[in-house]
Amino acid sequence: MRIADIAGTELFAEGPRQIVRVTLEGDHPAEVIITGEARGAATGSGVVEVPVTTERRPGETAMITVTAGGESRSAEFEIAEPGWTVWMVSHFHYDPVWWNTQAAYTTTWDTAGEAAQASRSAFQHAGFELVRLHLETARREPGYKFVLAEVDYLKPFWDACPEHRAYLRRLLAEGRVEIMGGTYNEPNTNLTGAESTIRNLVHGAGFQRDVLGGDPRTAWQLDAFGHDPQFPGLAAAAGLTSSSWARGPFHQWGPMLGGGDPRLMQFPAEFDWVAPSGQGVLTHYMPGHYSAGWWMDSSTTVDEAAAEVLKWFLALKQVAATRNVLLPVGTDYTPPNKWIMDIQREWNARYVSPRFVCGLPREFFAAVRAQREAFLPQTRDMNPVYTGKDVSFIDTKQVQRRAEVLVADAEKFATLAAVEKRADYPFALMDKAWRQLVYGAHHDAITGSESDQVYLDLLTGWREAYTIGSETLDGALRTLSAGLSGVVVWNPSSWARTDLVRARLRFPAGWRGIAEAALVENAVLDDDGCLAEADVTFLADDVPPLGYRTFSFTPGGNAGWLPAGGTTIASAAHAITADPSKGGGVTSWRAGGRELLQPGQVGNELVVHDEYPAHPKFHEGPWHLVPKGVREGSSAHPAEVVAERSALGERLVVRGGFGPVRYVQEITLWHGLTRVDLVTHLDFDGADQLVRLRWPVEIDQALPVSEVGNAVVGRGFALIDADTADHPWTLDNPACHWFALSATCRIGSRPIGVAEIVAGPDVPVGKLRALAAALVRQGVTATVSRADGPRYGDLAVDSNLPDVRIAVGETPWPKGWHPAARPLAEVWVPSADLRARDALPVLSIGADDVDALIDDLADAVVEVAGETYEPYTVGLINRGIPGFAVEPNGALNLSLLRSCTGWPSGIWIDPPRRTVPDGTNFQLQHWTHSFEYALVAGPGDWRETGLVREGHDVNHPLTALDQGVSGEPAAASLLDVPGSMVLTALKPAGNPIATGRLPEGVTGMTMRLYEPHGRTADIDLPGWRRTDLLETRSEPDGPVTGMDVVTYTRDAVGGGVAPAAEPFQPVFTRYWLHNTGPAPIGNLPLAVHLTPETVTVASSLVEDRVAGTVTLDGAVTRDFTLEPGAHVAWPNEGWTTASLKYQGQTFEDRLGEATLDAATETTHVAVRAGERSEIVIRLTCDVPVQAQLISPWHTYDLLPLWNTGADPGTAELRFPVVGGHRPGKWWALVKLAYGGKVHYTEPVTVEVLP
């Protein structure tokens, strides 16, 4: 007998008594006795676990003597802390689309094409099967608890499998299932406007709470590639109290990537996540990722699995804020873990701490709250993660921005039309449009990380939102313009505007031009050579907020652009010169007499960066920017530059080409406007390349500033020229409407943007929260760390870097303002580590000085004696081109386009595989693109240069209605909004369809506003009541604090309900099999489903009783009456179709095989401006065919008909092609969906000839 080893553990037996492990050599059992500062005894052989009692405190060391079989040995061990719980949360992460299709992920993965199996893990299942597997486990295991989340599978499952409703309701009542999220899906909130995020919450909470009966409290954003800074505030405003997710503050796989140490985190995993609005939610960051606990599934014994859980406990407890660890047990599409219940049973029979409990996030959060009152506040920017997301499939980001704007503007004016003119409101259409935007905001959709087939499927969603938005806006403005004459210009902004407007006008006989300042283009002339119709652009002066002004013209001479000679253009605000020998790049840009470009550098330059197909180490392609450090710019090649002038302004037109790009750029200065309007048209034929557009401006000390969702924050410089094999993170970021080089806040002469607040032990958490909130209100995000903990600023772990430290209380820095050892640009290098004490400037204050600093921050300037600074701002506004990078030297870069061949580029599930007509993957983007952007420059910070309004206006253009070229003057504003606020939504009060109710007409209006500049606004809105984001509870009125997002509602008498239906009927009930996104128009309040065994009709209504009739095989009928939330089932007597008419639509489910033959008449269509042609598809099918033409952004006017279908039999589908004025080469194909199958026709080249 020999004592081989003595070791303390973190385990406790009943008592609680800490377990000391004593390893004995020899086979015979022996009694092991421990004496000394800890005492206990146990008998055994091999490894003997001896529970001991002690008076020593956790963290202290106990000296002991161990005696066994006559031998005695002294040892010491550390006293551990009992009372820990590991909450094993059984979950599955679910992407409704990614490399595989919506159909496969929802139900048909097992039978989908072989490509759907090639990248599948053995344990993965489709959504319906997953829900069933978890429900079955719950039936067998009374202690089994699990979570469900996304509406993407919950809604179809609720409708198609109503037999599970009662059991699911029971599990909810018993507290065994938690419905997570309060969101529709896991959106990438940093790539959409805040209003899309709000609707995600409205639809998520509406379905999960009202329809399903859950109680979502935790935003469950597991996989989202970073988060919009305002998200925690919006979540709080939607009634959520917590959030949890795996990506944001650190690189994509977290601090534990490659065996990394979680103790590098500067704050515990549980923290108070605070938005620029000052609101926030308690958050659990998953340091071990959302899959951490899943992998024990491959253990072969329960002990091995328990050891795996213990390993995670020991790692994660180091960064837990309380004695609770959340261990996510699940990964993508996983069934219940094999061992989770055995572990709970067997482990807890042996040990009382740590307990391993199969539990729910709400139990975890309740336990966390019970042990601690206050958590460190973090306003840290949870970005960037996966920089490729900002630019891959750039066309989808452009169309989503445009659709989002159109839907929001359509909603505003349709609401005003309903109230002002008693027009019926298109509830169902607008609801569908928002659901399409919400669906497309998913982190494998708007991010461009999807496969080629999924990309095509997603395009139909954005096109539908765009179509509904533009048609509804047009209809509403027509209603509102009734009785007005002349050209009626409508302003969707909540402030008066003077801006350009474009309209297609028809002219009376005899007009050869317009007398007033205008641009007349693309004219159609009558037989006398006079204007019949033309595109007319003019400067609409002083159009009232959310209102109109009419404009009247007289015949005259103004026409289009005329050659001006030279290569310089000028307006009152700017002078710009381009150089043909430098690719047409801008060699001088002067504003207010100041040269803005760096000497010897050119602006508006196109730069092509070579990339890897996928990262050499991480193997990540479309969602990760992977430049090789090799770039080529347009300035090295000659180009043609032409200056032109018109009655409205001057412009430069640049034509050039090099490498994989051929380009046409227009730079326009308009008289009467202070911004520079630009567009770059691009034809691209490269592979694994990134095209950036570069403006190397020079502003001393200025830092990058980025608009985000309803807020503005500072963001660090990017490192875009390093080889990502060695330096994997470029630090690109997504901007909402604009980014700039500016000063969002400053200390003395030093602009600041991203801070580390280093807190001494003497500073209460409440004060830290107030300081962090005051900073972020001025755009300075902050990581709040402890003086004795790790520092923020190491690119090996942190996803972004700070540029200043604010030390509060007892810290190593003497009180005062300490400059950095070296300039920021010198330390901001690839793989930077800015943790050194003097790497950044430090403002060190006492704990008692916090309130004074907060007061000082109200004007975004912390005064320092003897230091002055004159801020200057250059801003770059984008129209759906979010990716940006500001180099440490001040060069602004906009990411235009990217081609990536890395997986899942080109993946195709339902053969035959389709490509761009030249045979390349769609991900490579080989077609004509147009990128619109604008520049703003001026003295002062971004607030003073008016960037918020300018960015909003560029994205929300004025709309003109032709009510005759001449008319009576008139102007009015239809809604009063305080001038200090930005209105982002105006809608009918309530969210009936999202919450399972039938709309009954407009009975009120709701508007959403935000304060954009970080200033407190006293606003007076008589008749309006403050409400929460979901409009379910009233909120106290009061001043609106800086960057807060607020909702107001009021009663109003308005119109009724405008009917709406899908363009093609019947609507296939299992819509997900057609990969068409969210549920059809109306959101399927009543769903009919057919299986070989049963016919079911299920209601998702929460208040209404509904009666109807199901028709089976067109002959037999079954009548039903359903109470709210109820369903009915009949045995299937051999029927293969079931249909149901409801609310003017016919819904149909269908069993059995269907066959389709389809042929495309010609695969190349070329037209000139004004010419028409057609894409003709001939098809034969034995079931109804839904036919959707798919084509990229910028072709919607060219291909105006897209959403149609054909009845069973032989049909010819004709899609018109209408030649426009912008030459280019695009593609189109038609998705044919029939009885749950999909076929994509051969791609057609669609060319507009010059």
The residues binding another protein (CB under 8 A) are: 110, 113-115, 117-123, 125, 139-140, 142, 166-167, 170, 223, 252, 291, 295, 298, 300-301, 331-332, 335, 338, 449, 618-620, 623, 903, 908, 911
Look at phi and psi of residue 1150 and say left if phi exceeds 0, alpha if psi is from -120 to 50, else beta. beta
CB of 169 to another protein, least distance (A): 11
- Which residue pairs from 25-31 have beta carbons closer than 8 angstroms and sit at least 24 positions apart in sequence? 25/1, 26/1, 26/2, 26/69, 28/1, 28/69, 30/1, 30/68, 30/69, 31/68, 31/69
Complete DSSP assignment for 759-807: E-TTS-HHHHHHHHHHHHHTT-EEEEEETTSPPS-BTTTBSS--SEEEE
CA-wise closest residue to 896 among 933, 848, 869: 933
Element (H, E) at 478: helix 452-480
The helix/strand/coil state of 616 is coil
Which residue's CB is nearer to another protein, number 62 or number 385?
385
CA dist., res. 87 & res. 317, Å (int) = 12
Which residue's CB is nearer to another protein, number 53 or number 167?
167
Which residue's CB is nearer to another protein, number 183 or number 291?
291
Which residue's CB is nearer to another protein, number 187 or number 335?
335
CA dist., res. 1165 & res. 1173, Å (int) = 7
Strand-pair category, 1116-1122 with 1145-1150: unpaired
CB of 133 to another protein, least distance (A): 9
Torsion of CA 196, 202, 205, 211, to 10 degrees: -130
Give the CB-side neighbour count of residue 857, counting CA atoms within 13 A.
24
Which residues is 283 bridged to in the sheet?
243, 271
Complete DSSP assignment for 1037-1084: --PBPTT-EEEEEEE-----B-----SSSSEES-GGGGT--SPPTT--
φ/ψ of residue 1131, rounded to 5: -65, 140
Which residue's CB is nearer to another protein, number 838 or number 1242?
1242
Which residue's CB is nearer to another protein, number 291 or number 646?
291
CB of 1041 to another protein, least distance (A): 36
Neighbour tally for 31: CB within 10 Å? 13
Residues 6+ apart with CB under 8 A from 64: 6, 20, 34, 35, 36, 37, 38, 52, 74, 75, 76, 77
Which residue's CB is nearer to another protein, number 442 or number 497?
442
Question: Which strands form 745-747's sheet, in the order they lie side by side?
Answer: 750-752, 745-747, 861-862
CA dist., res. 895 & res. 392, Å (int) = 10
Distances (CA, A) of 1063 to 467, 489, 643, 1084: 12, 30, 47, 15
Which residue's CB is nearer to another protein, number 813 or number 903?
903
CB of 188 to another protein, least distance (A): 12
> Do residues 16 and 86 lie in contact, with contact meaning Cβ atoms separated by under 8 Å?
no
Give the CB-side neighbour count of residue 79, counting CA atoms within 13 A.
18
CB of 333 to another protein, least distance (A): 11
CB of 115 to another protein, least distance (A): 4
CB of 93 to another protein, least distance (A): 9
CB of 184 to another protein, least distance (A): 19
Look at phi and psi of residue 594 and say left if phi exceeds 0, alpha if psi is from -120 to 50, else beta. beta
Which residue's CB is nearer to another protein, number 911 or number 939?
911
CB of 167 to another protein, least distance (A): 6
Element (H, E) at 1179: strand 1172-1181
Which residue's CB is nearer to another protein, number 73 or number 176?
176
CB of 224 to another protein, least distance (A): 10
Looking at the chain, how many residues does it have? 1250
Which residue's CB is nearer to another protein, number 456 or number 720?
456
CA dist., res. 235 & res. 212, Å (int) = 19
Prior bond to 912 cis, omega within 30?
yes
CB of 254 to another protein, least distance (A): 12
Neighbour tally for 173: CB within 10 Å? 10
What are the helix (H) ranges across 284-357? 302-316, 340-350
CA dist., res. 1216 & res. 853, Å (int) = 64
CA dist., res. 1141 & res. 1127, Å (int) = 16
Which residue's CB is nearer to another protein, number 161 or number 236?
161
Which residue's CB is nearer to another protein, number 298 or number 554?
298
CB of 662 to another protein, least distance (A): 31
CA dist., res. 911 & res. 308, Å (int) = 42
Which residue's CB is nearer to another protein, number 119 or number 701?
119
CB of 898 to another protein, least distance (A): 18
> Do residues 493 and 544 lie in contact, with contact meaning Cβ atoms separated by under 8 Å?
no
Which residue's CB is nearer to another protein, number 2 or number 139?
139
CA dist., res. 128 & res. 391, Å (int) = 33
> Do residues 64 and 53 lie in contact, with contact meaning Cβ atoms separated by under 8 Å?
no
Q: Judge residue 59's burial from the number of C-beta atoms within 10 Å of its C-beta, 0-12 exposed, 13-18 middle, 19 or more buried.
A: exposed
Which residue's CB is nearer to another protein, number 123 or number 813?
123
User: In this structure, which amino acid lies at residue 401?
Assistant: R
CB of 245 to another protein, least distance (A): 12
CB of 610 to another protein, least distance (A): 20
Which residues is 696 bridged to in the sheet?
891
CB of 455 to another protein, least distance (A): 17
CB of 440 to another protein, least distance (A): 18
CA-wise closest residue to 21 among 75, 83, 57: 75
Which residue's CB is nearer to another protein, number 332 or number 1062?
332
CB of 448 to another protein, least distance (A): 13
Which residue's CB is nearer to another protein, number 161 or number 719?
161
